[in-house]
C-alpha cells in the first residue's frame, strides 16, 4: 500500500471512529439512581436545595456534595493544536475530548472540555479564572507560546486550584525521567554533561528548566531556535522567556553547539538534526528527537552513523516513546486527592523520580501482553515505562501526593500512602469500595490479635507474586511466605529490584524440615488410592502439594496457588491434600462487583454437570461464603431457561428439584426458582410477573445449572460490562485456600490475598465460638 492510500485509509478510520454511533467520544452519566420520581426530587428540586445551602455556609462542602474534587477542566483556545497549528477552538475540540478520555481511562478523573474563543492573554486569564468554582483543577492544552507561559503564570497566581500546562510540563516530566535513566546507562553525571535543545517553545523551555532543576548547570545548556543558539546579547527573535536560557557563548549554530555535546533534546521540526551533527557528538550521545509526527531525525538515520546512541522519540512505533499520558492523569490524581492548591516543582520532580525508578523494575506480564508479548528490560531500548503499565498509577500518584503534602500545598493529608496506593489500584475497577471494606475488617482482626495472617504463596519466584508480596508486606496485615527454590527466588528479587523482600520466609519444599513427615503422611493417607510412598515423595516436592500440606498441618492460615500453572494443575493437589468439609464436592464462586450491586455466581470452575443435590449443596456453601463476607443472609436464585415450570425439559426439572431440595435440606435459606436470568436479577420484573416470589429484594446469589453457563456468564460479564470479577473462591474447603488465575495482574493477586486472609480469620473466629 503506497503512502497516499495508507493516509486515506487512516483518515477514514479516524473519521469513522469519531462519527459512528453517537458523535464524539464522551458522554455524561449519572452516578445516582434516577429511576423514580423520588430520585428526581432528590437530584433536582426540591431536594437539591439542601446541598446548595450547605455549600453556601461552607465552600469546602462542595467537595463533599458535588463532583468538583474529581473534575478537571481541559481548556484550550486551539492556537497550537498538535502539529496542526492555530486551527481554532472548535477544530481543536476532538483533541480535548480525547484528553478527557485519557484522564478517565488512566486515573478515573472526570473532565469537562472547554474550548474558548479568546486570542489574548487577558481574555484567556479572565475566562479561565472565572471557572474556578467549577473545577478541582485546570489542564491547559494546545495554547501557543509565548502566550501559554503568561497565561499559566497568571492563573497559578490567581487561582487556588492546580493549574498545569501539559504541553510544557507533561513533556518535561516524561523527558526528564527518561533522561535520568539514559545518563545512568551512559555512565554520565548530570552536573558534568553538555546538553543542546532544539526549539524554544513551551515544551523545550519546560524541559530545559526541569533538567536544570535536576542538576544540569546553566552554563552547560544551549538552547537553539530557528535563528540559532540563544546567546547573551542576541536581539533577533528574542523575548523574556528565551532570555532566561541565553548562554554566554561564542557558539552560533545548532551544529556548533552539538560538537562534543552529550545530549540533544528536540522539540522542533523534522530534519533539524543531521547525521553529520550526530557524528560530532560525544561518546554514548543521548538523542531525544521528540518532534511529532516526524522526529528531528529518524532512529535508523542515527544508527547509520552511531551505534552507541540512546534514543527517544514521541512516536509509539519506536522504543522510548515520550508520551504525556505517563504524566498528566497521575499528576492530577495525586493533586486532587490531597486537594493541592497548585502543582509545584517538588511535585513534578517527584513524578520524574517515580517514573525513572519504575522503569528499572521487571515489567509485568499484562504489560507485555498489551504490547504483543514484547520483552521489556531496563536498558537503551527501555528508558521509561509503557502507558499501559498500571503500576504508573500506584507509583507516580502517591509520590506526587506526598510531595504536595511535604511542600505545604496540600489541604488534605493522606496518613497511609500504602493503603492509598492499593485503593488507587482498585479505583480503575469497580471493586474499590468492596475491597476496602474487606481490608478494613482484616485490619481490625489483625489489630485485635496483634498478629498478622500467615499466607503462603506457591510460586515464590514469580514476578507478580513477588510484587504482590511487596504490597502485602508494606501494608503489614499479611505475612507472605514464599514457596520455591530459595536461591532462585532471591535472584529474582534482586533482578526486579525487590531486595527488601529478602527477609521474608522462603520455604524450599524438599529441603524443609517438615518434608519427610509431609510426604509420609500424604502417602499413608492416599495409599489405598494408588499413591506409593515414592510417588508421595515426588509430588510433595511440588509447591502446590507442599503448600496444601502446610495449610492442613496448621503451619499457615491460608494458601494461595497459581498464577502460572493451569487451574486443574492447582486444583488437584488442593483437593488431594486439603479436601472439602464432609467430603462434599468443591465449587468455585466468583464475586461480580458492579457500581451499584454485588452478585455471587456459582459454580464457575469445578463441577461440570452437577445434579440437583449438588446444586442445592452449592447454594448452601455459597450462602455461607456470602454470610462471611457480606454479614447478612443472602437471597438466592436458581437459574434456568424456565420460569417456575414454564418449560418441562429435564434440564429445567433438574433445577426445579434443586430448589425443592435446598428448601428441604436448608430451610433457613431464602431460595427461589427455577428462574430465567433476566427475571432473577430484576426485582421489578420478578415482583410484577411473579408476585408470589419470596425473595423480597434483589437477588444476591445466582446458582447456574452447569459449568458451561456459569463459566461463560462470568467471563462475558467481566469483559462486556463495568463489572469486575473477584475469584474463584473455593468452597467448602477444610482450610482456607484459593487459586489465582494465570492472567491475574498484581492487583488481582493482592485482592485475592486480602480476601483469603479475611476468610481465614472469619473461619477461625467461627470455629472458636
Q: Which residues are catalytic?
A: 44, 99
Write down the H helix ranges in 20-131: 37-43, 49-57, 62-65, 93-107, 121-129
Phi, psi (degrees; rounded to nearest 5) at 724: -120, 130
Pairing of strands 137-140, 71-76: parallel
Residues 739/608, Cβ–Cβ less than 8 Å: no
Question: 106: Cβ–Cβ under 8 A, 6 or more apart, which residues?
Answer: 325, 329, 330, 387, 392, 393, 428
Using alpha carbons, select from 606, 549, 603 the residue that is nearest to residue 576. 549
Unique residue bearing C-alpha cell 533522561: 179
Cell numbers at 269, concatenated? 521540526
Quote the radius of gyration of the chain (alpha carbons, Å): 30
Residues 258/286, Cβ–Cβ less than 8 Å: no
Residues 561/752, Cβ–Cβ less than 8 Å: no
- 731 strand-pairing partners: 587
- 311 strand-pairing partners: 287
Task: Compute how many other C-beta atoms are within 10 angstroms of the C-beta atom of residue 43.
Answer: 13
Q: Give the angle subtended at the CA of 131 by the CAs of 130 and 133, to the nearest 5°.
A: 105
Cα(727)–Cα(434) distance, rounded to whole angstroms?
A: 14
Question: 16: Cβ–Cβ under 8 A, 6 or more apart, which residues?
Answer: none
**Range 641-644 contact pairs with CB under 8 angstroms and sequence separation of 24 or more:** 641/676, 642/674, 642/676, 643/674, 643/675, 643/676, 643/679, 643/689, 643/690, 644/673, 644/674, 644/675, 644/690
Amino acid at each position: 500500500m503506497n503512502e497516499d492510500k495508507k493516509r486515506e485509509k487512516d483518515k477514514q478510520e479516524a473519521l469513522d471512529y469519531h462519527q459512528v454511533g453517537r458523535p464524539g467520544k464522551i458522554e455524561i452519566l449519572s452516578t445516582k439512581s434516577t429511576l423514580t420520581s423520588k430520585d428526581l426530587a432528590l437530584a433536582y428540586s426540591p431536594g437539591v436545595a439542601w446541598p446548595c445551602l450547605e455549600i453556601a455556609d461552607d465552600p469546602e462542602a462542595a467537595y463533599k456534595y458535588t463532583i468538583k474534587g474529581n473534575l478537571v477542566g481541559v481548556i484550550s483556545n486551539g492556537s497550537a493544536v498538535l502539529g496542526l497549528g492555530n486551527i481554532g477552538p472548535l477544530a481543536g475540540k476532538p483533541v480535548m475530548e480525547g484528553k478527557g478520555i485519557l484522564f478517565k481511562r488512566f486515573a478515573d478523573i472526570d473532565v469537562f472540555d472547554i474550548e474558548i474563543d479568546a486570542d489574548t492573554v487577558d481574555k484567556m486569564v479572565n475566562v479561565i479564572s472565572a471557572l474556578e468554582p467549577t473545577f478541582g483543577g485546570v489542564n491547559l492544552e494546545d495554547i501557543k507560546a509565548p502566550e501559554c507561559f503568561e497565561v499559566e503564570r497568571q492563573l497559578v497566581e490567581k487561582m487556588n486550584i492546580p493549574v498545569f500546562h501539559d504541553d510544557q510540563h507533561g513533556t518535561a516530566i516524561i523527558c526528564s525521567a527518561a533522561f535520568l535513566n539514559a545518563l545512568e546507562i551512559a555512565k554520565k553525571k548530570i552536573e558534568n554533561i553538555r546538553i543542546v535543545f532544539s526549539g524554544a517553545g513551551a515544551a523545550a523551555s519546560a524541559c530545559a528548566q526541569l533538567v536544570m532543576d535536576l542538576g544540569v548547570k546553566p552554563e552547560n545548556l544551549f538552547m537553539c531556535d530557528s535563528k540559532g543558539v540563544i546567546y547573551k546579547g542576541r536581539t533577533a527573535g528574542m523575548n523574556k522567556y528565551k532570555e532566561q536560557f541565553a548562554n554566554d557563548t561564542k557558539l552560533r549554530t545548532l551544529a556548533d553547539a552539538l560538537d562534543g555535546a552529550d545530549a540533544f533534546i528536540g522539540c522542533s521540526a523534522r530534519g533539524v538534526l543531521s547525521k553529520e551533527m550526530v557524528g560530532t557528538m560525544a561518546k554514548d550521545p543521548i538523542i531525544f528527537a521528540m518532534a511529532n509526527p516526524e522526529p528531528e531525525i529518524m532512529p535508523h538515520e542515527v544508527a547509520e552513523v552511531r551505534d552507541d546512541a540512546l534514543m527517544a522519540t514521541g512516536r509509539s512505533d519506536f522504543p522510548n516513546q515520550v508520551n504525556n499520558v505517563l504524566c498528566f492523569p497521575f499528576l492530577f490524581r495525586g493533586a486532587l486527592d490531597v486537594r493541592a492548591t497548585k502543582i509545584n516543582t517538588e511535585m513534578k520532580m517527584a513524578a520524574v523520580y517515580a517514573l525513572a525508578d519504575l522503569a528499572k523494575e521487571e515489567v509485568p506480564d499484562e504489560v507485555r501482553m498489551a504490547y504483543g508479548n514484547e520483552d521489556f528490560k531496563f536498558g537503551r531500548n527501555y528508558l521509561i515505562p509503557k502507558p499501559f503499565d498500571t503500576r504508573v498509577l500506584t507509583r507516580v500518584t502517591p509520590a506526587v501526593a506526598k510531595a504536595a503534602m511535604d511542600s505545604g500545598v496540600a489541604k488534605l493529608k493522606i496518613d497511609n500512602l500504602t493503603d492509598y496506593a492499593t485503593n488507587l489500584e482498585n479505583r480503575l475497577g469497580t471493586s474499590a469500595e468492596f475491597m476496602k471494606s474487606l481490608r478494613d475488617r482484616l485490619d481490625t482482626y489483625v489489630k485485635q490479635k496483634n498478629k498478622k495472617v500467615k499466607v503462603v504463596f506457591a510460586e515464590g519466584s514469580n514476578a507478580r507474586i513477588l510484587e504482590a508480596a511487596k504490597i502485602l508486606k508494606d501494608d503489614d496485615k499479611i505475612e507472605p511466605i514464599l514457596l520455591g527454590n530459595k536461591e532462585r527466588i532471591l535472584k529474582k528479587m534482586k533482578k526486579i529490584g525487590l531486595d527488601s523482600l529478602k527477609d521474608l520466609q522462603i520455604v524450599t519444599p524438599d529441603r524443609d524440615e517438615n518434608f519427610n513427615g509431609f510426604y509420609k503422611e500424604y502417602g499413608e493417607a492416599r495409599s489405598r488410592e494408588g499413591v506409593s510412598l515414592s510417588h508421595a515423595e515426588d509430588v510433595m516436592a511440588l509447591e502446590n502439594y507442599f503448600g496444601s500440606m502446610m495449610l492442613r498441618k496448621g503451619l499457615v492460615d491460608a494458601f494461595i496457588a497459581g498464577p502460572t500453572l493451569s487451574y486443574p494443575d492447582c486444583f488437584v493437589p488442593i483437593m488431594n491434600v486439603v479436601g472439602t468439609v464432609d467430603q462434599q464436592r468443591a465449587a468455585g464462586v466468583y464475586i461480580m462487583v458492579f457500581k451499584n450491586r454485588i452478585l455471587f455466581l456459582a459454580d464457575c470452575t469445578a463441577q461440570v454437570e452437577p445434579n440437583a443435590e449438588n446444586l442445592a449443596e452449592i447454594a448452601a456453601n455459597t450462602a455461607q461464603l456470602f454470610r462471611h463476607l457480606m454479614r447478612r443472609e443472602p437471597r438466592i436464585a436458581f437459574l434456568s431457561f424456565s420460569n417456575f415450570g414454564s418449560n418441562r425439559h429435564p434440564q429445567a426439572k433438574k433445577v426445579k428439584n434443586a430448589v425443592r431440595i435446598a428448601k428441604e435440606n436448608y430451610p433457613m435459606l431464602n431460595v427461589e426458582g427455577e428462574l430465567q436470568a433476566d427475571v432473577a436479577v430484576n426485582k421489578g420484573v420478578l415482583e410484577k410477573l411473579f408476585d408470589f416470589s419470596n425473595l423480597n429484594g434483589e437477588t444476591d446469589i445466582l446458582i447456574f445449572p452447569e459449568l458451561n453457563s456459569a463459566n461463560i456468564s462470568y467471563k462475558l460479564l467481566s469483559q462486556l460490562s463495568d463489572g469486575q470479577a473477584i475469584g474463584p473462591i473455593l468452597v467448602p474447603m477444610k482450610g482456607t485456600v484459593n487459586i489465582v488465575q494465570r492472567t491475574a495482574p498484581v492487583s488481582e493477586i493482592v485482592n485475592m490475598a486480602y480476601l483469603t486472609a479475611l476468610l481465614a480469620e472469619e473461619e477461625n473466629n467461627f470455629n472458636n465460638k
